[in-house]
Amino acid sequence: MSEQQESDAPLAAELAIPSTSGSGGGPAYRVLARKYRPSTFEHLIGQDAMVRTLENAFSSGRIAQAYMLTGVRGIGKTTTARLIARALNYSESDKPTVHLPRLGAHCAAILESRHPDVIEMDAASRTGVDDIRELIEGVRYRPIDARYKVYIIDEVHMLSKAAFNALLKTLEEPPEHVKFIFATTEVRKVPVTVLSRCQRFDLKRLDGDLLVQHFRNIASKEGVSAEDEALALIARASEGSVRDGLSLLDQAIAYGGDMVRAEAVRSMLGLADRGRAVDLFELLMKGDAAGALAELKQLYDFGAEPITVLTDLAELTHWVTRLKVVPDAAKDPARSEMERVRGMSLAERLSMSVLTRAWQMLLKGIEEVSQSAHALAAAEMVLIRMAYAADLPTLREVLEQETSEIRPLPQRRNAEAEAGGPATVTPMRRAPVNAPPVSAPPVEPTTSSTRGAETMAVTAPDFSAEPPEQSASAAANFSHFRDIIRVASERRDLRLKTQLETFVRPVRVRPGQVDIGLEQGAPPGLTNELARKLEQWTGERWIVSVTKDAGERPIAEQDRLKRDTLFNEARGRPVVQALLSRFPGAEIVDVKDLAVQDEAIAADSDMIDDETMEGSGDGS
């Protein structure tokens, strides 16, 4: 064939290699992944962003010195590298171009990896610094016949650290006639010093619809009929990889002959029928352990792998959960009508807590089955756990049940309890037992770490009322020693605040005078320090005297005793006892009085309303 005839050859024959005879004398069979490997950028599907970037760069002459192609296996990194090398050396154009309408002088040799100026190197087998030095030696020589000398290094992340270091200088300042193209599936393993010298392209996974359309076109060219569901199964199993999908399609054609059916593909891949996966999921959600095990055994006998069954259940759980949150997910074209109808039904019947619990159990189960020597037995144990867990009530249901069995109590649940989270219960108020002095205000308790299986915040009764809060400007009218501590906290004098809480026994607080008792270990000069601070805060002179009266306990001790009393009172509530017995290992980690909080919020709201009214009055 003359050069002119070769240039006019159809694009479909661009990758043709010399026919070789098999043992039977006929031409050797070429797998679909090689037969339909893209030969032009127009044939490269799903990478439009990269093609557009290259087109603009080539047309403006902004050609990078090195390219880094990343992506999953079988997405077309090596093929794309050869296409870029062909575009750089396209002889039918006076400059690099992505438009390759016909074969040029170098195209066939580049695509078949036999061009002397396009050197391909597999870094997985040539990882050492000596291999890179050999490559660098050839960089200084100009190309023999093409426009550029192109080095394609596949799986570049496999190079050793010394090899990367040897390559850096040449990569940063290569000769004008040299271009580097790297391909890798593990871009994170490539040193940033190399990445910073390359123009990076991330080849994205192909979505299912695009793969199905691609496989349908190839099946048509091969004269094979294929069901859409079968192609969708192959696309889903390929996980966005074109090469993996074509290999599976090749296998499906060999398995089913001239007709690729969904049932044959399921049998070939060891997949469970989607409808039967929904049946199994419904049995689990009903708590039918025996029925679920029988269904799993049938699927196993039909060739479905146990871990595949659990993976399908997890995928179904995820999809049903998405349907519950985003009902428009039912419009997914990859789903059959049966899946849409039954999936929507499951989303309406199952609560979010049940679905999230099933998801967590399946994730754990998949890990167990993958590590087990007897996969079927491990999968059966997972299904048994899920079936029995389906009958477990949520925390909200337990609380409602317990409160209905015990004498009805006034209760209030916060938003977190309504969503199935930790409950906050307000018990009926009653007179406190051994309560601290009325003047002692409640203290915000600190939350302890959770050690049990469940965490529960329980509200206890209000044992005392806090004295009315005073501003710093009215500090001269202190009515209780806690007012002094409060002002010390507002003024951020934390050292004095801690000393007053720990070492001082309050006795009396009168205008201009404070009577206190001191605990053993009190720092010297505490009374003088307090008097000086009071004068500084109020602008008046204060007398701080130490008396022999017993007085109250130190404030810190009062707060500690009060907190213990609150916890004991909460533990005595029948509802709390029922919850603690229902959830072994649970403990009370916090006690709050919702009534006091509501009163504070209401007071703040009134204050805001008053200020608003005053503001509107001033402006009228």
Q: Domains in the chain, please, with CATH?
A: 3-202 (3.40.50.300), 208-269 (1.10.8.60), 274-389 (1.20.272.10), 432-593 (3.30.300)
Average pLDDT over residues 476-500: 84
Predicted pLDDT of residue 26: 55
More confident residue, 591 or 356: 356
Length of the chain: 620
pLDDT at 283 over 70: yes
pLDDT at 431 over 90: no
- Bridge partners for 102 per DSSP: none
Alpha-carbon span 266 to 264, nearest angstrom: 5
pLDDT at 463 over 90: no
Q: Which of 112-116, 146-150, 477-481 has the lowest mean pLDDT?
A: 477-481
Q: What is the pLDDT of residues 139-189, one digit of tens each?
A: 989 999 899 999 999 999 999 999 999 999 899 899 999 999 999 999 999
pLDDT at 436 over 80: no
Strands 225-226 and 259-260: parallel
Predicted pLDDT of residue 461: 38
Predicted pLDDT of residue 443: 41
More confident residue, 578 or 106: 106
More confident residue, 351 or 592: 351
pLDDT band at residue 452 under the 50/70/90 scheme: very low
Predicted pLDDT of residue 595: 55
pLDDT at 68 over 50: yes
pLDDT at 18 over 90: no
Q: Three-state SS for 620?
A: coil
- Bridge partners for 178 per DSSP: 149
Q: What is the pLDDT of residues 319-344, one digit of tens each?
A: 899 998 888 877 765 666 777 788 88
How much of the chain, in percent, has pLDDT values that exceed 70?
Answer: 76
Report the sign of the C-alpha dihedral through residues 549, 551, 555, 559, in that order: positive
Q: Which of 188-202, 252-266, 439-453, 533-547 has the lowest mean pLDDT?
A: 439-453
Predicted pLDDT of residue 394: 66
Q: What is the pLDDT of residues 42-67, one digit of tens each?
A: 888 889 899 999 999 999 989 999 99
pLDDT band at residue 83 under the 50/70/90 scheme: very high
Residue keyed to tokens 């037992």: 433
Give CA 210 to chain center in angstroms. 26
Determine phi and psi for 537, rounding to 5 degrees: -75, -40
What CA–CA distances, in Å, run from 430 to 569, 573, 585, 597? Answer: 10, 11, 28, 18
pLDDT at 605 over 80: no
Predicted pLDDT of residue 457: 40
How much of the chain, in percent, has pLDDT values that exceed 90?
Answer: 26
pLDDT at 574 over 90: no
pLDDT band at residue 594 under the 50/70/90 scheme: low
More confident residue, 414 or 260: 260
pLDDT at 380 over 90: yes
Average pLDDT over residues 577-599: 70
The dihedral region occupied by 60, where left means phi > 0, alpha psi between -120 and 50, and beta the remainder, is alpha
Predicted pLDDT of residue 5: 36
pLDDT at 604 over 70: no
Report the sign of the C-alpha dihedral through residues 98, 102, 106, 109, in that order: positive
Predicted pLDDT of residue 23: 46
More confident residue, 415 or 85: 85
H or E, element range at 506: strand 504-510
pLDDT at 17 over 50: no
Contact 564, 432 (CB under 8 A): no
Classify residue 528 as exposed, middle or buried by CB count within 10 Å of its CB (0-12, 13-18, 19+): exposed
Q: Three-state SS for 516?
A: strand
Q: Which long-range contacts (CB under 8 A, 24 or more apart) does 8-16 make?
A: 8/102, 9/102, 9/103, 11/39, 11/40, 11/43, 11/102, 14/39, 14/40, 14/103, 14/107, 14/108, 14/111, 15/39, 15/111, 15/112
More confident residue, 126 or 579: 126
pLDDT at 397 over 50: yes
Q: Which long-range contacts (CB under 8 A, 24 or more apart) does 592-598 make?
A: 592/424, 592/445, 592/457, 592/459, 592/460, 593/442, 593/459, 593/460, 593/461, 593/462, 594/412, 594/424, 594/426, 594/459, 595/426, 595/462, 596/442, 596/462, 596/466
What average pLDDT does the chain have? Answer: 78
pLDDT band at residue 404 under the 50/70/90 scheme: low
What CA–CA distances, in Å, run from 2 to 5, 6, 8, 98, 476? Answer: 5, 6, 10, 25, 109
Predicted pLDDT of residue 15: 39
Q: Which of 183-197, 413-427, 489-503 has the lowest mean pLDDT?
A: 413-427
H or E, element range at 578: helix 574-582
pTM of the complete model: 0.55
CA nearest neighbour of 566 among 542, 540, 590: 590
pLDDT band at residue 476 under the 50/70/90 scheme: low
Q: What is the pLDDT of residues 498-544, one digit of tens each?
A: 888 888 888 888 888 888 888 888 888 888 888 888 888 888 888 88
More confident residue, 532 or 417: 532
Predicted pLDDT of residue 446: 38
More confident residue, 236 or 10: 236
Predicted pLDDT of residue 235: 87
Structure tokens at 205: 């996974």
Structure tokens at 353: 């807590």
Alpha-carbon span 50 to 62, nearest angstrom: 14
